[in-house]
Structure 1
Amino acid sequence: MARVRYGPRSEADIAAAKSSRAVLPDIWSTGVVAVWTTDPDAVAQVLPPPLKPAEQALVRVNISQVDLFGSPLGAGSFAVGAQHGAHTGWYPLVMPMSTERALIGGREVFGEPKKLGEVAVEREGDRVRATLTRHGITFVEVGGRVTGELPPPAPVEKLDFYFKFLPAVDGEGFDLDPVLVHCTRNERVRRLERIEGEVLLRESPFDPVADLPVHRLLEITIGEKTSDQRGRVVERVSPRALLPYVHQRYDDPMQVLDAPPAPASPAVPTGGE
């Protein structure tokens, strides 16, 4: 009988897939990173418990492109500085991805707040423009002029915080208790350049990052980097405490409550015979 591809995979197939993930080569991306200070109260408002604001109210935007085995991938992240106990890291509010594969893996495995979007990094000579776009709105734009090389930093470990959860089937809360994930990346940079420029945040009802304005721009850089990624569940969190923040993950969390469209009303005669 012919193999049915939706059928079960053998233990050997599953083991081979796991083994191949462990020996992936380094994947280098070209990315623009901007960091700025913002309104401390705004940062405090977007952090679900048990996360707390970091010592300084910071925002970091990362906009990258990579040729992933012959397929272009755009990846973005808009994150605020946060703390969990003694750990300091970043809490991403939105992570636009240009492919479904990148979106699904991150959301389902790590709980990353990924959404399909358009991610672009453009360079002509010393001019650079990087953008995040969704629903036709370019809600983040970073642009400027490259002003010189920077020494590549030493390898560094970076930490992101994610909440992994599943909305309940009946629309009431969650199916299981949500968990807080620590995602650690070991990052290496082989080239880094300084950019003098600006960050523009545009109003979007779907990605309201304009609520975290640029108070003082600390740096803009463009570089080539690679990193690995591993995550671990560190604790279960209160469903009641997390529920008010679930809308961060979805463009329209109320759509599950929408009624079917009303039937069109019959035309009302306005005159004539």
Structure 2
Amino acid sequence: MRENDVLKRAFAMPLTSPAYSPGPYRFVDREYLIITYRTDPAKLRAIVPEPLEFDECEALVKYEFIRMPDSNGFGDYTESGQVIPVSFRGRKGGYTHCMFLNDEGPIAGGRELWGFPKKLAQPTLRTEIDTLIGTLDYGPLRVATGTMGYKHREVELAHVNAALKEPNFLLKIIPHVDGSPRICELVEYHLEDIVLKGAWTGPAALALTPHALAPVAELPVLEIVSAVHIRADLTLGLGKVVHDYLRQPARRSLRADERALVF
């Protein structure tokens, strides 16, 4: 294979059989269960990266279970994770802290393209009689269970649509071959072409169990604030870099022994 051929085909890895297809990525009948809760602000302070900011008085976290039965290139899968309401230079949005899903394509694509913090696990979202139930299993252990009364009350669609259109922020990290950071960026992306099919709320509960490799319980549930069940079609827009940590004047290279301490 000639060098020009490599460059033409170099969209994703592996070169001759990429783990995911090129976009755009359209999702049909995407279903959310989002439970918003209050947590310990000191815990948030330790994980929200500057220059993002969060409201220490509110200290909110959104725990999400998302069912995606029809998505271009990625197929049929489910994911679950935590999104923290933040602001960036005066604009409100959400910072994705962790995500767990059961499909290799969106794990690879999400990490490589946008910087989604995705790991392999087994989330589910289903309706059981009168209850919407979301679960997350990491290996054989249950680490999250969310429940909401099924479609108790409709939610104002304009409010939900505005929330879905807010910017989303990710911390994209790709190491160099020597283990040092080659890319360390704050990425912004948006959901696009949203067709909102319905939104409902009801009584909700959320239980998180400590796990060394799926540490969702590190942001403890102190109080349930709200819950929403959403159905929508949408496109996952590609991102843009809004902050490059490696280009900041104050940065310095970590020694090998210092990098080891990070882990």
TM surpasses 0.5: yes
Deviation at 1:83, TM superposition (A): 2.1
Counterpart of 1:32 in structure 2 is: 33
- Cα pair 2:151 2:229 within 8 Å, conserved: no
Taking structure 1 as reference, are residues 160 and 228 closer, same or farther at Cα in structure 2, changes over 3 Å only? same
Count of aligned pairs: 235
CA distance in 2, matches of 1:243, 1:86: 30
CA deviation after TM superposition for structure 1 residue 221, in Å: 2.2
Task: Name the CA distance, whole Å, in 2 between partners of 1:190 and 1:52.
Answer: 32
Give the partner amino acid of 2:188.
H
2:187 to 181, 184, 187: 181
Q: Percent identity?
A: 20
Partner letter of residue 109 of structure 2?
G
Q: Which segments of 5 or more consecutive residues in structure 2 lack a partner in the other structure?
A: 12-21, 255-261
Distance 1:90 1:10, change over 3 A: closer
The answer on 1:103 being equivalent to 2:103 is no
TM-score between both structures, scaled by the size of structure 1: 0.74
User: Superposed, which structure 2 residues align to 1:85-104 within 5 Å?
Assistant: 85-104=89-108
Counterpart CA distance in 2 for 1:117 and 1:178 is 25
Change in CA separation of 1:62 and 1:243 when aligned onto 2, cut-off 3 Å = farther
8 Å Cα contact 1:121/1:130 also seen in 2: yes
| 1:266 counterpart residue number | none
The one-character-per-residue Cα deviations of 1:156-199 (angstroms, maximum 9, x if unpaired) are: 2122211222123223x31x241110111244431222231310
Offset, 1:146? 2.3
Contact 1:152–1:190 (Cα < 8 Å) also in 2: no
Alignment CA distance shift 1:9-1:68 (3 Å) = farther
Mean CA deviation greater in 196-205 or 223-232: 223-232
CA deviations 1:227-266 (Å, max 9, x no partner) are 223211112114887999xxxxxxxx85xxxxxxxxxxxx
What is the CA–CA distance in structure 2 between the aligned matches of 1:147 and 1:208, rounded to whole Å?
30
After the TM superposition, which residues 163-242 of structure 1 pair with which residues of structure 2 at under 5 Å, given as runs?
163-171=171-179, 173-174=180-181, 176-186=182-192, 187-230=194-237, 231-238=239-246
Q: Distance in 2 between matches of 1:218 and 1:160?
A: 21
Please show how residues 28-107 of structure 1 align to structure 2 within 5 Å: 28-54=29-55, 56-68=58-70, 71-107=75-111
Aligned-pair CA distance for 1:31: 2.0
Q: 1:146 corresponds to which residue? A: 150
Deviations 1:44-80 (A, max 9, x none): 1111222222353110011111222694211223122
Q: Aligned to 1:169, what secondary structure does the other structure show?
A: coil
Task: Name the SS of the counterpart of 2:213 in structure 1.
Answer: coil
2:200 is paired with a residue whose SS is strand
**Backbone CA RMSD of aligned residues:** 3.3
Amino acid aligned to 2:225: L
